[in-house]
Amino acid sequence: MRHFGLSHRRTLAVATSCMIAAQPRSASQASELESSRQSWQCKICFAREVDAGFAGCGHMVCVACAAGLDKCPVCRKRSALIRLYK
């Protein structure tokens, strides 16, 4: 019981710090830039920009993640992967 209470409290602390990080106090321009950058971020590894996509559903991942996938990780639809060029 004591262990559960500790881990629960830590989860709360992490969630709170995430909320603070997600809300910059100033510069709407900076957050706009950040959100446009995030829209290109791979939703699987969060480390690379997307440069591959599933032809059937249009969801995008990076080529490093796409290499190990045979279907879309977002909607689980099976379709051909295509390379994306910006």
CA nearest 62: which of 80, 79, 50, 53? 50
Rg (CA), the chain: 18
Nearer to Zn ion, 25 or 76 (CB): 76
State the minimum distance, in angstroms, from the CB of residue 38 to Zn ion: 13
Check residue 69 for interaction with Zn ion (CB under 5 A).
Answer: no
> Which of the ranges 8-16, 17-25, 26-34, 44-52 carries the binding residues for Zn ion, by CB under 5 A?
44-52
The phi, psi pair for 38, rounded to 5°, reads -70, -30
For 41, the 3-state DSSP assignment is: strand
Write out the residues near Zn ion by the rule CB under 5 A. Answer: 42, 44-45, 48, 57, 59, 62, 65, 72, 74-75
